[in-house]
Amino acid sequence: MNPIKYSESTPTERRKRRIQYVEEQQGNCYHCQGLLKCSPPEHITELKINWSLFPPFFLKHPVHLHHDHDTDLTIGAVHAYCNAVLWQYHGE
C-alpha cells in the first residue's frame, strides 16, 4: 500500500488508511507487533509517558495511524500507547 501525506488527508481518508494498514499488518501493531485488539505488551506500557505533550483525547482511539514527522507519510497502524512511545522516545 502506498502511504499518504498525513497532514493533507481528511479524517475519513486517515480512518480508511488506518483500517487498510490493520488488514495489511494482519491485525498487528507496526511498532510492537502485538495484536491491535489487545493492550500493548508490558515492555511498552512500563515506559513513562509525559501525557502533557499529547492532546487531551489522545488515548480515546486505541489504534492510531502512525506517520513520519519529517516526510509526513503514513507508516502503519499502531496502538495509541505505542504511538506515544514512538514520538516521545524515538522522535517519530
Is there a domain that residue 4 lies in?
no
**18-36: per-residue pLDDT in tens?**
999 999 999 999 999 999 9
pLDDT band of 91, cuts 50, 70, 90: confident
Looking at the structure of the chain, the number of domains it has is 1
* pLDDT beyond 90 at 83: yes
Please report which confidence band the pLDDT of residue 40 belongs to, taking 50, 70 and 90 as the band edges: very high
Residue 67 falls inside a structural domain? yes
Query: Is 58 among the domain residues?
Result: yes
Residue 72 lies in a domain: yes
Instruction: Give the domain CATH number at 69.
Output: 3.40.1800
The whole-chain average pLDDT of the chain stands at: 95
* Domain enclosing residue 76, as ranges: 11-90
In a domain, 5, yes or no: no
| Nearest one of 24, 26, 31 to 64, comparing CA atoms | 31
For the segment 50-73, what is each residue's pLDDT rounded down to a tens digit?
999 999 999 999 999 999 989 999
The CA distance from 70 to 14, in Å, is 18
Residue at 71 is within a domain: yes
In a domain, 2, yes or no: no
Tell me, yes or no, whether 53 lies in a domain.
yes
Determine contact, residues 40/29, Cβ cutoff 8 Å.
yes
